[in-house]
Amino acid sequence: MKATDKLFAGSIPALYDHYLGPLIFAPYADDLARRMAGLRPARVLEVAAGTGIVTRALRRALPETVEIVATDLNQPMLDHAAAVEPLANVLWRQADALALPFTGASFDAVVCQFGAMFFPDKRAGYAEARRVLTPGGAFLFNVWDRIDTSPFTHVVVAAIAALFPDDPPRFLERTPHGHFDKAAIEADLKASGFGRVTMETLRLPSRAASARDVAIGFCQGTPMRNEIEQRAPDRLEELTEIATQAVAARFGAGPVESTMQAIVIEAR
């Protein structure tokens, strides 16, 4: 993972939330919230909360008496999340998932949506989740499967990569879609102190109002934007339009629909 893979700043948080939220994140957020409700926790820690997409889903799914502490490494993401809407009994806090500022055994459940892929040290991140869990507590998280199982993402990445054959932007393939080996995930979790680990491969629909919405989301609302601007300053809009045409050629101009695939993990 490159240093820029973790850089969610400037206009990225707002674009990420507006375009990618409904396109790829909200359906899986609702799934995690439903699973979390079945665990009946009293206190929940969310790591890598981003712009609060899962946080809002959790708040809808859980009783208001349940305390939710939502953390992220990037303060701009949390600032955007907190500004979207007031949420009862939710505390927003900047924190590094590899060095959580909480005492041991202080949460009934830890949840993380598409954040584990960003942990520089996966086992350290998993060990921190285990440390703050009460006995019998659950660590519930998901990761993206291979990039070719999520066609919208794959088409955009291929379209942009073709423009830079000697040095293609690979953020989406390298990091978000780079941690899908189930055996490796289970081995890391068990090495971090977890016992029972269950996994489910989950395919869900992915929809957008237009092909351009898909292109904006990935090209301008993720750290791939940083890669594009490093290689082609002042061409972001042009390249976003090229990605738009690639999506439209495959799926139509809009509304567009495809599928996406992730792995949902529960560790006890």
The answer on pLDDT for 110 being more than 80 is: yes
Cα 56 from Cα 53, distance rounded (Å): 5
- The answer to whether 204 and 260 are in contact (CB under 8 A) is yes
The answer on pLDDT for 221 being more than 70 is: yes
Q: For residue 248, what pLDDT band results from cuts at 50, 70 and 90?
A: very high
Predicted confidence at residue 1, as pLDDT, reads 64
- The answer to whether 173 and 110 are in contact (CB under 8 A) is no
CA geometry: angle at 257 spanning 19 and 244, to 5°?
Answer: 55
The answer on pLDDT for 253 being more than 90 is: no
Q: For residue 257, what are the β-bridge partners?
A: 207
As a whole number, mean pLDDT of residues 9-32 equals 93
Token duo for residue 46: 């969310």
**Domain extents for the chain?**
3-267
Predicted confidence at residue 5, as pLDDT, reads 53
Please tell me which residue, 199 or 2, carries the higher pLDDT value.
199
Tally of CA atoms within 13 A in the half-sphere of 106 that contains its CB: 12
Token duo for residue 39: 């665990």
CATH for 3-267? 3.40.50.150
- The answer to whether 68 and 95 are in contact (CB under 8 A) is no
Predicted confidence at residue 55, as pLDDT, reads 98
The answer on pLDDT for 249 being more than 60 is: yes
The answer on pLDDT for 8 being more than 70 is: no
Predicted confidence at residue 11, as pLDDT, reads 82
Name the burial class of residue 165, with classes exposed (0-12), middle (13-18) and buried (19+) by CB atoms within 10 angstroms of its CB: exposed
The pTM (predicted TM-score) of the whole model is 0.95
> How far is CA 189 from its chain centroid?
19
